[in-house]
């Protein structure tokens, strides 16, 4: 080997060792590291599923409270002779369904944002 090619080999070897050391130190640093990136990447679907479950539970609860319960109460009062509740028998479920739909749409739109938010550090 010539003297020039030995120098190039030594410098390339030193450069490769330096890059490897920098890469290892970067990968070992907290949430801004390569492992932090993959942790966030694989955590997103889990959080999105969790937020979707919460939204579904809220929708079911609101449907029960604002539509089914209101309809049941109005029907019971009408059967007991309070005919003034006849208009509410139709209006209350429609209003409850509209409120529930609005809240569901709002929560659905927020799911990607909430899933992308950083979780508290687990150190």
| pLDDT profile of the chain (123 residues), mean per 10 | 80 85 60 69 84 90 87 87 82 87 88 75 45
Q: Within a 10 A sphere around the Cβ of 107, how many other Cβ atoms?
A: 17
Q: How confident is the model at residue 93, as a pLDDT?
A: 85
Q: How confident is the model at residue 122, as a pLDDT?
A: 46
**Nearest CA to 96 among 73, 67, 58?**
67
pTM above 0.75, yes or no: no
Would you kindly state where each structural domain of the chain is located, as residue ranges?
32-116
d(CA 17, CA 23): 10
Give whole-number Cα distances, 84 to 78, 99, 106, in Å.
Answer: 8, 23, 34
CA angle 84, 88, 94 (to 5 degrees): 170
């Amino acid at each position: 080997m010539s003297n020039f090619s030995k120098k190039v080999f030594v410098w390339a070897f030193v450069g490769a060792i330096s890059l490897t050391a920098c890469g290892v130190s970067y990968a070992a640093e907290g949430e801004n590291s390569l492992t932090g990136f993959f942790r966030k990447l694989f955590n997103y679907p889990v959080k999105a599923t969790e937020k979707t479950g919460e939204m579904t539970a809220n929708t079911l609860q609101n449907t029960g409270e604002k539509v089914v319960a209101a309809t049941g109460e109005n029907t019971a009062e009408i059967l007991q002779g309070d005919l003034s509740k006849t208009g509410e028998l139709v209006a209350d479920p429609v209003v409850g369904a509209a409120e529930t739909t609005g809240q569901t749409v709002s929560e659905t739109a927020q799911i990607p944002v909430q899933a992308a938010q950083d979780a508290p550090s687990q150190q």
